[in-house]
Chain A
């Protein structure tokens, strides 16, 4: 059994088209054979039937109705002429009111019904195991009391069959040939048409794995252009992501260098010093720098997790943001107290649901609070709030610290941006992280600050989960 699947794989366009062509052509050919057969038979019969009719009429001419007893003048030579046929056997039979008036050697079987005067019809019957086509013709009535006289002429069907076969063959063969030709032309046409794909494939294989440049599709068929354009879009996105990641790594490395330089310098100083007080000072500087470094590292990790390229699938669930905000704020109370800051919380509802990722959202809140603490004065006041208005949930962090000038309010979200003139030890990534996480939750972040020294209000707006 031919392994169909192996030789005609399902996925081949060429073979699919070929298969469809076959599926369409075969029934068509089949139908045309049948139609042709029916038509061929029809016209062949028509032609030979006419000849039977003429024979019947000729016989009719030999019947004498004048005499009281009906007579048929049929000399042997006439009989021979009538029955002569190269291919078929011809029979005749003339039936009068009292039986056969004349007949050939074998007796033609009679039909079920009889035609009216001067009418005739053809019927099929068999004699000696041979199929016959017979005409039965009723003589026209000339006189009133004329009895029914029927003339039957029948023949075997060899001629007809032969002619029908010849007609069909002469029709069929060209059809088949045309069909095959069309098939072959389509087959090769498609092969030719798809050749640019082969070229493309070879080109892509030859590419360097780092090469993300767009594919040249000027020579490709129009149907493939949209696909290739989408492919190029995808390549561009991937290239962009990789570029972003590389920039990030470069940025991070640069940012790490400065605190590291500080560490090294202080350590070298401490090694040179003899004065214990100075050594102690250098060491405490080292301690501070290490703290900053570890904070920076943690923030960098947070940022990669928050960025879309960091984790492709963001697992989200329905979560209670009010409760998350309350718990997260609680965690910062003691730290805030160390700076004499009164950190509090207010919520309009203990249950406010949104769809989000709990780990990331905690990071978002952490960074907003940490930021507020960093830029608040000693003895200041920070309030974390959450409320629902219509279809939105608003998370707010309000402080009465140094505030943000209007022209800085977009800049603060940029990586490693620190407001000039502050001696704060933040690393400039906090708000970037907040922005990234908000974006991943389809939320918006906005700042409201009356200006320097007048505190700031950060608002993150989420869509509520109904």
Chain B
């Protein structure tokens, strides 16, 4: 896997390079936009980590030119300026992800992994949390490769929870997904599905936690200190 880092701050570039080498990637570095543009014109990469505040040619311009050449290489934008307008512009211009400085190295690495994986398998329709895997196209949920016996509605609820893994999924979002099926689903009915789901996940390392007034949170049991 080959990653291209474009960052003009030498200390940060050095840090990024060394951490990603540790993860097993081959790294190239450019410290200004016009060098980056020339290199990207003839060299293919699996991921570009792009700073926005670059000398000679700005980050947005490098991105624009990359996309105009038809390149589908995943791009992760790194920037000190994290206002909403910039984010929207970046994503509109064809960036795949946006991370503001300063950032957690672990988070950067996770996003790099996710982007490379996405680049590899096209659009991956499989989400996983811990040992739980959900194949959205085939509508199958499995834990440790063993299929779980879930009804269509239970699968729908689980899908919402897994897509928002690590964040709270609200009742509204779940009810919204469920109303793709026939009748109106009441709050009580939702409670029933969640109860059944919890029962079926009892033996796994997955926990569905109730958050007062906000919804539900899917989490791995090992990370929680409080049940």
Question: A residues touching B (Cβ–Cβ < 8 Å)?
Answer: 290, 294, 326, 329-331, 333-334, 337, 340, 342-347, 359, 379, 383-384
Contacts and interface: CB of A to CB of B under 8 A. Distances in A.
Interface of B: 84, 102, 166-168, 170, 209, 211-215, 217, 219, 224-226
Contact of A330 (B102, B168, B224, B226): B168
A300 B102 CA distance: 15
Contacts of B226: 337, 340, 379
B182 to A, nearest CB: 25
Which 5 A-B pairs rank lowest in CB-CB distance, beginning with the nearest?
Answer: A344-B212, A345-B213, A330-B168, A294-B102, A346-B213
A342 B166 CA distance: 16
B170 A359 contact: no
A256 to B, nearest CB: 14
A347 B212 CA distance: 11
A383 B212 contact: yes
Contact of A343 (B102, B211, B224): B211
Given A329-B213, A329-B214, 16 more contacts: A290-B102, A326-B213, A326-B214, A330-B168, A330-B170, A330-B211, A330-B214, A333-B168, A333-B211, A337-B209, A337-B217, A337-B219, A343-B212, A344-B214, A345-B211, A345-B212
Contacts of A334: 166-168, 217
Contact of A333 (B84, B217, B224, B225): B217
Contacts of A345: 211-214
Contacts of A347: 213
A152 to B, nearest CB: 102
Contacts of A346: 212-213
Contacts of B225: 340
Given A333-B211, A383-B212, A326 B170 contact: yes
A342 to B, nearest CB: 7
Residue among B102, B170, B209 with the highest chain A CB neighbour number at 10 A: B102
5 contacts: A326-B214, A330-B214, A337-B209, A343-B212, A345-B213
Contacts of A294: 102
A357 to B, nearest CB: 12
Nearest to B226: A340
A413 to B, nearest CB: 26
Nearest to B100: A298
A333 B168 CA distance: 7
Contacts of A330: 167-168, 170, 211, 214-215
A343 B210 CA distance: 11
A342 B212 contact: yes
Nearest to B211: A333
B167 A344 contact: no
A117 to B, nearest CB: 107
A331 B167 CA distance: 7
A329 B212 CA distance: 11
Contacts of B224: 337
A344 B212 CA distance: 4
B142 to A, nearest CB: 25
A340 B223 CA distance: 11
B84 A359 contact: yes
Residue among B84, B209, B225 with the highest chain A CB neighbour number at 10 A: B225
Nearest to A329: B214
A346 B211 CA distance: 11
Contacts of A337: 209, 217, 219, 224, 226
Given A337-B224, A359-B84, A379-B226, A344 B213 contact: yes
A342 B210 CA distance: 10
B87 to A, nearest CB: 12
Nearest to B101: A294
Contacts of A333: 167-168, 211, 214, 217
Nearest to B83: A359
B37 to A, nearest CB: 30
A383 B217 CA distance: 17
A106 B209 CA distance: 133
Nearest to A297: B102
A294 B100 CA distance: 11
Contacts of A383: 212-213
Nearest to A385: B213
Contacts of A342: 212
A383 B214 CA distance: 11
Nearest to A384: B213
A337 B212 CA distance: 13
A384 B92 CA distance: 35
Contacts of B167: 330-331, 333-334
